[in-house]
Structure 1
Amino acid sequence: MYSQDYVLEAARSGLSPSEAERFLSEFDSMDLAGAADRLTLEVAGDTVTFVNNVVVNYANVCVAGCAICAFYRPPGHPEAYVRSPEEAARIVSESGAKYGVTELHINGGFDPELGIDYFEELFRAVKSASPGIAIKGLTAAEVDFYSRVWRMSYREVLGRLRDAGMDAMSGGGAEILDEEVRRAITPYKFNAEAWLRVQEEAHSLGIPTNATMLYGHIEEPRHIVKHISEIRDLQRKLHGVLTFIPVKFVPWNTQLHRDGRVKGPAPPELDVKVTAISRLMLAGEIPRISAYWTSVGKRMASILLLSGANDLVGTMLNEEVLHSAGSGEGSTLDELAHIVREVGRRPVQRDTFQRALREL
């Protein structure tokens, strides 16, 4: 059995994929967490950050039909919707006035009827109504889909979205960066190579990005390690990834659950191991590793803050995607700060770009 000191030294030297897979498969979760926590304090200090944000899903119409998604509705479905730019701007403006949010997190489905003018109008409407709001969205998956529908290059799509007011990209759509897994869970989405290409194009245009990983479905340890390795290589090349966010798969109301391929949520031990190995592999490459409380729950999030995570993403007001799968709820700055203080860390409200605003 490996000691915490052994694991910590391996991480300091640059954890290889083979070592990471061995640790993930064989090492005790609490010992792995302990090593990751020590590394977090070394490379990032004792603060835990989060942003005050509101989530707007501009549409739930999607033609991808992914087996992991409970949120989407096919075109023409009675529950399908597309928000007008004015409605989205109103939600953000009201959230700013009532809760003081500083970020709009905006994503949706793959709706082939939407043109780029829709997104330009949407972002400009938000910026006009709430000039101080940072817009984080779209995902690389959306950029790829719409670039094909609109017959535009990634660069043209991203440049026009940036000019309309998009400040950063959210990290969704990465799922697991392995084609074997992607063919099973998202067969009609783009491939892993395209996700990485969109990220690179965004960085070349000065658009910072985030990266996610969806775990706890049909993947194996080797797929998790491969995904994190790809993110590490991307960050070493471009230095523009703001946060790495492991997202636990919530199976309820999804096709994977209906088909019996996933019986229920992954055990808490996997949450701990995934967060820990993310920190140990990424070390100081990406200082902020997030505990995504909307998928693991607030109680587990507090454990993950002692397992390598040092970010709670945000208040996530109005979140709908995970809510559709039976998880997720809004929070407040005070609630998140309380979670942080309970584990002996310092809560810091940040902005979209990882800049500290104030300690709570």
Structure 2
Amino acid sequence: MTARGLSRNDAVYLMREVDLFTLAEAAHAVTQKFYGDVVTFVNNVVINYTNICVAKCPICAFYRSPGHPEAYTRKAEEVAALVERFAVEYGVTELHINGGFNPLLPPEYFDELFKAVKRRVPHVVVKGPTMAEAAYYAGLWKMSVREVLSRWKEAGLDAISGGGAEIFADEVRKVVAPHKISGEEWLRVAEVAHELGIPSNATVLYGHVEAVEHLVDHIFRVRELQEKTGGLLLFIPVKFNPLNTELHRRGVVKAPAPSTYDVKVVALARLILLDRLKVAAYWLSVGKKLASTLLLAGANDLVGTMYNEAVLTSAGAKHSATVEELAAIAREAGKTPALRDTFHRRIKPLDGP
């Protein structure tokens, strides 16, 4: 243990040797100390601008190759109209938008997309795409990442989503995402975004082929990024569901990780990150029931309503929740739910059942 918290060796020991309940209790105590009992989330809609992706990650059940009969790319006005409908009908304040590595898209596509959304619903925050997408399109268009992100920001991008991080370790990425940027490159793109005033989330995808050391290293690197830039908004542990993926078909990952592992991952994240960053209980990947338990094991955010989500649902996740459903998850854990915006400014408490 150091003055700044756990060491990597401490964290590996806790994950391997300390029982689930002790770890969860310690993480919950840390959360209570720094954040109290308030659990936040945003009211948001998820729209995928395309499902065409040439990365063909073996962890993904969502992508389609160019020319596939199910492949699509949405027009800018189609996306804007969808966002407007969800803003009017459900009161969403955030658009979470991402897609894939689509070699058919010119730079002007995103200019038109973000501007169209801002014209229709200027009050809705545009969050996305991922660091990996920014790096891919920079290479495709022969631009720097800084040029791409600056252009996106000028067109209306407000924040970057945290996807594509997977696990930073090279030996894991070679298995789960061999054609994506490296972990080091993901972190560099995040730094550039933060320097440009574009905050982001950070994720970790766990429950596939990683070792404890890989998981620990990933969370520490997230912590170091936050200490360096202060540009992260939320850390989201995402559970891997192997259904419909190549890793499952090849027998590399036969089933989702047990719920005991979910609890330990979230608890470990809190004990490493301390007060540097909120930790999410991502109900979409673990289920609503377990998400409530994770709020007693170090998590203090439920991410969002995630209306219209398609990537995790391609692998069997149950998609979307209402504001009231997420509030009920928080109350079940004895917490006080509160609606927030993308930047974690509290909009309003959600009192009573």
Which of 326, 329, 344 lines up with 1:339 in the alignment?
329
Q: Does 1:325 align with 2:315?
A: yes
Q: What secondary structure, in the 3-state scheme, does the structure 2 residue paired with 1:321 have?
A: coil
- Is the Cα contact below 8 Å between 1:319 and 1:328 reproduced in 2? no
1:329 Cα deviation from its structure 2 partner:
1.1
Q: Distance in 2 between matches of 1:84 and 1:25?
A: 48
Which amino acid letter does the alignment assign opposite residue 335 of structure 1? E
Q: TM-score when scaled to structure 2?
A: 0.98
1:60 Cα deviation from its structure 2 partner:
0.2
Which amino acid letter does the alignment assign opposite residue 20 of structure 2? S
Give structure 1 regions of 4+ aligned residues with deviation exceeding 3 angstroms: 10-13
Paired residue for 1:161? 152
Which amino acid letter does the alignment assign opposite residue 233 of structure 2? L
Alpha-carbon RMSD: 0.9
Paired residue for 1:4? none
Q: Distance in 1 between matches of 2:26 and 2:284?
A: 25
- Is the Cα contact below 8 Å between 1:12 and 1:283 reproduced in 2? no
Q: Distance in 1 between matches of 2:297 and 2:82?
A: 35
Equivalent residue runs for 1:236-247 within 5 Å: 236-247=227-238
1:29 Cα deviation from its structure 2 partner:
1.0
Give the gaps of 5 or more residues in structure 2.
none
CA deviation string 1:189-223 (max 9, x = no partner) = 11111101100000110110110000000001000
Q: What secondary structure, in the 3-state scheme, does the structure 2 residue paired with 1:177 have?
A: coil
Q: Distance in 1 between matches of 2:211 and 2:254?
A: 16
Q: Does 1:50 align with 2:28?
A: no
- Is the Cα contact below 8 Å between 1:351 and 1:357 reproduced in 2? yes
Q: What secondary structure, in the 3-state scheme, does the structure 1 residue paired with 2:96 have?
A: strand
Paired residue for 2:284? 294
Equivalent residue runs for 1:168-187 within 5 Å: 168-187=159-178
Q: Distance in 2 between matches of 1:82 and 1:263?
A: 32
Q: Distance in 1 between matches of 2:272 and 2:180?
A: 27
Which of 69, 79, 83 lines up with 1:78 in the alignment?
69
1:342 Cα deviation from its structure 2 partner:
1.2
Distance 1:11-1:37 versus aligned 2 partners, 3 A rule? farther
Q: Distance in 2 between matches of 1:306 and 1:229?
A: 22
1:133 Cα deviation from its structure 2 partner:
0.2
Which of 351, 355, 358 lines up with 2:341 in the alignment?
351
1:11 Cα deviation from its structure 2 partner:
8.4
Which amino acid letter does the alignment assign opposite residue 309 of structure 1? A
Which amino acid letter does the alignment assign opposite residue 306 of structure 2? M
1:328 Cα deviation from its structure 2 partner:
3.0
Q: Distance in 2 between matches of 1:87 and 1:12?
A: 52
1:12 Cα deviation from its structure 2 partner:
7.3
Q: Distance in 2 between matches of 1:101 and 1:318?
A: 12
Identity of aligned pairs, percent? 57
